[in-house]
Amino acid sequence: VQLQASGGGLVQSGASLTLSCTTSGFNLDYSAVGWFRQAPGKEREAVSCMSLSDGSTDYSDSVKGRFTVARANGENTVYLRMHSLKPEDTGVYYCAKSKHLDLGGSPSRCSAHEYVSWGQGTQVTVSS
């Protein structure tokens, strides 16, 4: 099982950026994948999670309405489209595979401790 996040960079406040999570070694169709971020000196926090089997999603309040998680049909890649970026969105962004098959309609399944098989992160820096 492998996941690799990419697409980070340095952008100005208000800009948009799309991150990619490339996956391999498991059937993405029957999995849940989450995006998480960690800012310097802070704990890792959930950004967004997606159940690939039914398309259900969950977002943290801080990104709701600005970020969208999606998968292009037939691809083993999950995208995080980020708009109206703010300096507080700065951090290392990771994607990971849930130990559950789906989100089960529970926000608790979009928590870092529910996720295994973490990939290397990608740095996102938003300047003011």
With bands split at pLDDT 50, 70 and 90, how would you rate the model's confidence at 113? very high
pLDDT of residue 107: 81
CB-based burial, 80-111: b 16+ in 10 Å, e otherwise: bebeebeeebbbbbbbbbbeeebbeeeeebbb
Q: Are 93 and 36 in contact (CB under 8 A)?
A: yes
Pull the structure tokens for residue 102.
Answer: 């789906």
Query: Is 107 within 8 Å of 44 (Cβ atoms)?
Result: no
> What does the alpha-carbon distance between residue 76 and residue 127 come to, in Å, rounded to a whole number?
31
41-85 confidence digits (pLDDT tens): 999 999 999 999 999 999 999 999 999 999 988 899 999 999 999
Quick one: pLDDT at residue 35? 98
